[in-house]
Amino acid sequence: MSKAAAYCRDWERERLEETLTLREAAEESGYSYHHLSRLVTAGQIPNAGVPGSPLIRRADMPKRPATVAAG
């Protein structure tokens, strides 16, 4: 594997381990802050933070499906 490919692999692995606040996760995922909060409270997304101050690992963050414009 080339150094560049290894660097990209390592960067992506580290990126997925980053933790985000609910506000940051909402901006990236397209889901609302409140919806993400409910998912964490329900245990559907692991809380990478502490009770009362939840964090979401980027790897655990749900993604909205892409929408295709009607045309």
The number of angstroms, rounded, from the C-alpha of 4 to the middle of its chain's C-alpha atoms is: 25
State which residues form the domain around 48.
Answer: 18-60
Query: What's the start-to-end Cα distance of the chain, in Å?
Result: 43
For residue range 10-33, list pLDDT tens digits in order.
778 887 889 999 999 999 999 999
**What pLDDT sits at residue 67?**
63
pLDDT confidence of residue 50: 94
Number of domains in the chain: 1
Question: Does residue 36 lie in a domain region?
Answer: yes
How much is the pTM?
Answer: 0.75
* 55 falls within a domain: yes
Task: Name the more confident of 15 and 38.
Answer: 38
